[in-house]
Structure 1
């Protein structure tokens, strides 16, 4: 089959619009467009129904495997398109990742023959982890061997909170828990600091006294090093300064000669018609500059002409600072700050009683604030548990579980297990026989009972779920007759508000679908491919009759199929 496109428009709330599959196992080219309501997928064992679910799972972040690539093809690809409401959680995830989105979400995933995988959301390259996050918000899959979702006790508390609309209360509890833990962490850190300070109190006191005596200051090392360099060349500097001073002063010095030249020219300046005025002014400036230079030489000479013992004292100071820095493993310029830190740690010892007492009071106040908020959440959970139990109980008789009991257990946790979700453990328990104690959902129920319990829960919880598409993979396994019909009725009821896709071998379930897709295998020569047909009228009757009677379809089976179909809607 080169290409197949089935037009089934999606109606109502958010859901899967289309699924396009290329070169996945036995599927060469297949395009399916879905609509809301209950869509049943039937077909003989081995026809390839699981390939459709594997393809959808691939688009939603499931593990990629080169074994999915059709033999002889270079790569497999799956494109899933969803029509979402404007407030759908998937948009928040996309915004968080800086990705563009509108009311349509198109996810594309490819797997090459060597196992490499790539993914795109609305033609923007993304990682598989993001696909998984989106998938959790878009499609919920429940299979006969499912160990996730409602069968995982870790999810039960969140499910109950969602059912009861406790998001705001949960957020308040989480915030108060974080505030409590912050104070407790500060308390623990302070206690650790104090313990360390006590252990090294003697060392700290000695170090502070030593640094106080040394009195280091920032920038001192550089200043001392520069002065030391000057003093080490003192004799050469003094000789040079004296020679320069001799050249500039004395009987033949430049200052005396400039003054003489100025006096000589000033006496005849009035006879030069102003021509000597600029010269005299220049000589005057030169005399002033020379005087300043000589004064500078005096000052420099005074700085350099220090007591030779000053160099020894300076070096002692410099070496003492550097020795202290090496001792404490810091830079010389950091010694002053280190002294302050040592003093702070000592003060912790002196102020420890007040500090720890204050933090203890703050921690107790924060704990009580958290506990009060968590107890309110717990009370609301208890109330919601009763409502959930009653709602599920109402769904059990139609599923032929009249004698079964469902119970939502809300019990307190030990304080060591308290957390941002509160102080409760929530678990869904069931008892399938009168008088038997309730047990874990995934431990007590048989395969057929489990499927029906899950379906009852799904029907009750559907109104609180943001997921628009639910997939049930052969959840009717192990049941038949009136029980299968009841399962079909609940699936159809679930389809009134959601898009429900069901892979089924039950004719009773198949007869109640708003849409019926038949997965079938086609053999052409040595080529085997899987395709999908939309069944209507007689074709649908024949498929349901086949499911009733097996390989040979009898008139009696056709009449039974017509009877089942007549009960649809």
Structure 2
């Protein structure tokens, strides 16, 4: 529901704030007073294209804001939650804002956060429906017509199930197609992988093998040189009377003979003792290493051959020799995956076939439900159109059957609302057959018939009363009032018979000053009677027209 509209520096409005109520609100004013400015502003807030010409003369920018209540509007709340655009402090409210700059740029906001115009248009579909000759005629869109029919027939849940089933089937078909193409391309791939795996299995590379082989090769290749250097080192450490270990022992013995416990002397003794122990341990380690330096030409040749084989295979795959074991595991895993592809294809094909049968069964039930609902809707809407002065009108909820292979999220048919406004003319699409005024009345008739099931909480009608008067005008007013019991209705009207029946009456006025300004006021009961008298009497309002206006309000209050 639309709670409030704030307009600043837009067209002829410098600053304007309008509060709206639930029910039916009539908007009236003299010709040229600017009744459509409010609707134009609302249209921009809801995503219409902007122009710098719409900014009030002398102002740098225009600022437009609309507050909606989304309490009970599940679709709008879900949309906001999915995009994290809800207001945590007031989750039941939604604030839409649009700013226009003199440079032609505009910005849109939802609850203070910038969004795209497409985002705004998507959200607006859950909040409000505007019907006029130039704005937001959502009723002309087939998907909206289909949704209205499904809601009216009480099978919207079945329609959602069909859409879900279609999505599931399409996903299975897509996955199956991808897998089949992969299998076709995979036959050559499997042959290549099998060959590569055989090569790797013949070599049997180990993850840590290459590094160990390199170390062994270095040791064996330089065994003689290492042995000579090692012998010299061992001699210097322990195998000569002037060896390091012996000298350290003698030096330590000399210090221990000094009878003095000075800290510096004690520290020196400890360091020399540690040095002798380290020298002894180094000697032991070097002797253990010396045992490994036995020349082994056969082992060296074997290692050369093994390293060469690892290098050759690694070069073939353009990887390091150390990665051969990992490559073998990867190839084996891919082969296992490809081996199960054909079996998986068969399983997916069976699932897709079952999903299609389920989809067609659900779509068939939906078709039957739509046919029954369409017949009821046609009769009911046509009857309302006759009441609205379209005596020869004929409304049709046409179902265009589709082939089974064309079954989609919308089922096995396309829904299209058609109408004939004149006798002897076959019904055609709403946008091609109906004029602006007729479209408003057709929309009104459809909304009245579907009010109890409609998902749109607010409806705006512009020029719904064009070309009618007298008794039909009162019928329009009563229909709008009746519709207002289920949804919020805002209607721009020129007819006192319609305005008299509104729950709320807003009057638009334009000042006579040099710089014309537009204002909108919510009328009191006394002011309503005066406005109705103006609408009835024109330039000169007599006591008789005032009495007539008062009588109209009295009848409306008792309606």
Same fold (TM over 0.5): yes
SS of the aligned residue for 2:100 comes to strand
Aligned length: 543
Contact 1:522 1:530 (8 Å CA) reproduced: yes
The C-alpha deviation readout for 1:316-368, integer Å capped at 9, x for no partner, is 24532441232xxx666655555455556666776665443333222222322
Note the residue ranges of structure 1 that are not aligned, 5 or more in a row.
1-14, 270-277
Name the structure 2 match of 1:23.
9
Q: Secondary structure at the match of 2:516?
A: strand
User: Which residues of 2 match residues 47-66 of structure 1 at below 5 A?
Assistant: 47-66=33-52
TM-score by length of 1: 0.79
1:125 equivalenced with 2:113 (yes/no): yes
Are residue 372 (structure 1) and residue 367 (structure 2) matched?
no
Q: Which moved more, 1:238-247 or 1:447-456?
A: 238-247
Q: Does 1:320 align with 2:308?
A: no
- Offset at residue 19 of structure 1 (A): 1.9
- Residues 1:177 and 2:163 are matched in the alignment: no
Contact 2:97–2:110 under 8 Å retained in 1: yes
Change (3 A) 1:199 1:147: farther
- Structure 1 equivalent of residue 184 of structure 2: 195
Map of 1:7 onto structure 2: none
Q: Is 1:246 aligned with 2:246? A: no
Question: Is residue 512 from structure 1 mapped to residue 472 from structure 2 by the alignment?
Answer: no
Give yes or no for contact 2:26–2:492 (8 Å, CA) kept in 1: yes
| Aligned partner of residue 396 in structure 1, secondary structure | helix
Counterparts of 2:179 and 2:467 in 1: how far apart (Å)? 62
Asked if 1:530 is matched to 2:537, the reply is: no
1:72 is displaced (CA, Å) by 1.6
> 1:156 and 1:288, CA in 2 relative to 1: closer, same or farther beyond 3 A?
same
> For residues 518 and 260 of structure 1, what CA distance do their matches in structure 2 show?
117
User: Are residue 81 (structure 1) and residue 70 (structure 2) matched?
Assistant: no
Cα distance in 1 for residues equivalent to 2:320 and 2:409:
45
Q: Conserved in 2, the CA contact under 8 Å of 1:225 and 1:318?
A: no
Give yes or no for contact 1:447–1:478 (8 Å, CA) kept in 2. Answer: no
SS in 2 for 1:524: coil
Q: How does 1:94-493 map to 2 (within 5 A)?
A: 94-96=80-82, 97=84, 99-100=87-88, 101-118=90-107, 121=110, 124-129=112-117, 130-146=119-135, 148-200=137-189, 202-218=191-207, 239-252=228-241, 257=246, 292-301=281-290, 307=297, 309=301, 312-313=304-305, 316-317=308-309, 319-326=311-318, 335-336=324-325, 338-339=327-328, 342=331, 353-432=342-421, 437-493=426-482
Residue 34 of structure 1, CA deviation = 2.0
| TM-aligned CA distance change 1:290 to 1:17, over 3 Å | same
1:285-315 CA distance string (max 9 Å, x none): 8777656533432454566766464674465
How far the C-alpha of 1:67 sits from its partner, in A, is 2.7
Contact 2:437 2:463 in 1 (8 A): no
| Contact persistence 1:144–1:475 (CA under 8 A) | no
Alpha-carbon distance, 1:48 to partner: 1.7
- In structure 1, C-alpha distance between the alignment counterparts of 2:214 and 2:372, rounded to whole Å: 78
- State how far apart, in whole Å, the 2-side matches of 1:70 and 1:220 are: 82
Inter-CA distance 416–223: structure 2 relative to 1 (3 Å threshold): farther
CA contact (8 A) 2:478 2:498 kept: yes
Greater Cα offset, 419-428 or 15-24 = 419-428
Q: Secondary structure at the match of 1:111?
A: strand
The change in CA–CA distance for 1:16 and 1:201 in structure 2 (over 3 A counts) is closer
Cα RMSD for the two superposed structures: 4.4
8 A Cα contact 2:25 2:502, kept in partner: yes
Counterpart residue number, 1:275: none
Residues 76 and 126, structure 2, Cα contact 8 Å, conserved in 1:
yes
Mind listing any 5+ residue stretches in structure 2 that lack a counterpart? 258-266
Query: Does the CA contact (< 8 Å) of 1:175 and 1:420 recur in 2?
Result: yes
Question: 1:27 Cα deviation (Å)?
Answer: 0.5
Comparing 414-423 and 72-81, the one that deviates more: 414-423
Is 1:71 equivalent to 2:57 in the alignment? Answer: yes
CA shift for structure 1 position 152? 0.9
Name the counterpart of 1:39: 25
Residues 16, 519 of structure 2: 8 Å contact kept: yes
| Alpha-carbon distance between aligned partners in 1 of 2:222 and 2:545, rounded to the nearest angstrom | 118
Structure 1 residues 437 and 331, CA, compared in 2 at 3 Å: closer, same or farther?
Answer: farther
Question: What is aligned with 2:489?
Answer: 500
Query: 2:220 and 2:146 mapped to 1: Cα distance?
Result: 79
The SS at the match of 1:427 is strand
